[in-house]
Structure 1
C-alpha cells in the first residue's frame, strides 16, 4: 500500500496471539506478505521466502484525478512467478463522494479481473483527504466496497486507527463486511520480520494487520493475515448459482447444513451483509464445502442465505462458530460455551468468534488481562 506518512503506535497492553489452527479453511491464518506500489519498482520487492501473498496497487484516484501505476503489470508477473497469491488495493482519495468511489472501482476492476481470481481481495486505501462529514465518508467507503463485491471480489478497508476513528464509522463497515479491516500500526522503524502483538491496533473486525513499514531493510510494508482472508479466491472460487432438480420428497425451506458441507438439497448464496439486497460474496452449489471466510458473523452467529428447492430465498441463522460441525438448528441460545485451548487469549477467542473481547471478558466476570487456562469453559 502507499507508504504511510505517520508512524502509528498503539497503546494497548501486550496480549497473547493464538497460532493458526489446522484445516484448509484456516490455511492462511498467520500468513505474511508485503504490499507493492510504484515505490517498489517494476520488479516489486520480495520480503521473505515463506511469504504467501502480496497486495499490489494498479492505481487510484485523488479527488477524481486518476493516477495509474505503470509498474503494476510487471509486478503482477513477478508475484505470480514467485508463487504469491495476488491481491489488490486502490488508492481511494474520494473524500465523502460515493459517486467518485464507484467510478474509481469501475475504472480499475477490468485490470484487476485480468490478473486475479474472483473472490480475491480488493482493498480501498482511505488514509487521506476525508471530508468533515463522517457519515458521508463512511457512505463513500461502503459504496466502493459494495461495488467491489458486485464484481465478485472480497472488499476490504485499509487505513490506520487514528485516521479511521476521526473520519469513519468503522462499525458500519464491519457490520456489513465482518473482518474486512486492514489496519496499519507500527512499533518503530526498525526492520520487523514478525508482528509485535504488543502494539496491535485494538479494534474489532481486523482481517489484515500491516505491522511494519520496514519489513526488510530499506523499507517495505509487511502484513499478517489474522483470519484466513488471503485464501479468498484461491482455496475457494465463487461459483455460478445452481438450480437443484425437482424432488417431491424434499422438505423445502430448511435452515441447516451438516459437518461443514451443505446438503444436496440447497444452493447457498452467501451475502456480504445482513440486508436482503446486500451483495452475494459466493454461491455454494449443492454438496460444496463451506469456506467460513465467505460467511459473515454477527455477534458470534454464522449467517447465510440459501435458495430452497421451492425456489424461495431463505435467511439462515445457523448459530455456529467457524470450525464447528453444523447440524439442524431452529433456535439460537443467547449463551454459547467455548473450551479454552493452549495459547488462547481473550483477543484471539473474540477474533475467532467475531465478538468484542472486552464484552467477552466481562461476560465471564473477568477483564482482558485476566489469566485463563486450557480446558476452562467460558460463555460468549
Structure 2
C-alpha cells in the first residue's frame, strides 16, 4: 500500500547512532503487501521471501473504489499459496458515505472470491485517501464499520489499514485491531503499535530476487495468520536475522538522507489534491486543486511517506503530494503519451526490445522492472 503519513525525523545523526548501537532486535519482516505496482510476482520470489527473510504472510491488493480490480490479484494469491504462506487481501477505499462503503465491500468481496482469496483470510479496508481525509472522524468510523460488516458476509475477516497519523485522529482504531503504517523505524527500545494486529515499518524493503521496494510489516498478533494453515517455515534462520537487520538499517538511512532534487515538469491532476504551505500533511492547506489542474513544478523530494513536488507561486511556493514514497505517481499523470505493447506467448525482454528498436535493459527499466523480472502473456509494457 502506498500513501502513508510517516513520522518526521529529528536529530538524524543521534538517531542513527542509537539505531545501530541499540537495535539488537530489529523490526521483523513478517508480512509483505503487494499490488500491481510490484508487477508479476513468481512463486520463487515468495519462497525466497519466506526462506531468507522470514516472511510469513502476504497481503495482496484486490480492488480499489467501485470499479478497479487489481490485474495481479489472482496470480499473487495462487503463487503465495504455492509457496506455502498465509494469504490475505486489501481493498483501497474510496468511499465517503455509508452506502458507498457497503457497495465497495460488495465489489471487493466478489472480486476477492473470483481471484481465489480463501475463506477465512483477512480482507482489510485501506483507508488513507482524500475521500476520507475530507470527512469527519464520526463519518469515517461509520463507513468503516459498514464496510467491515459487509465484507464478513463473504466469509472474510475484517480489519482497517491506515497511517499512524490518521489512527484515532481521522478514524478510531481500537486496541487488538488495526494495521498501522508508521516509519521509518527509529530505535526506541519498544515495538511500535504493539497493541494492534500489525505495524508496517517500511515501504522500501528489498528482497534478493525481487525488483523494487516493498511494504513490510511486523505482526503483533496471529490475526493475519489465523484461519489458514501455513505449509512451511523459513529454511535459513541465520539469513533471516541478518536480512531483517539490514532492512531496518537501510530503511532508516534512506529516510534520514532525503534531499530535494530538480524536477521541472508539468503534471495534470487525476484527482483533487491539497496544495500545502510545506511538504508535510500537517502543513496548512493553501487550496484544494481540482482534478484536471495543470501544475508546474521545479523540485521534488521523497519525504514523510509521500513523493512531494514544489510549485513556484507568485508569493512563494506551494507543495503537493503526487503519490506514495515508492515514487509512483498516483494522483497525477505527466503530459507525455506512451505506446504500449501487449506481451504474447513466447516473448522475452530481448525479442520485445528488438521488435521495437530498444535496448533490453532500457525497456525493462522504463517499465519499472529488470531484465530478470518474469513477464507473461497479456501484460502491457511501455515501448515508447
TM-score, normalising length: structure 2: 0.48
Higher helix share: 2
TM-score, normalising length: structure 1: 0.48
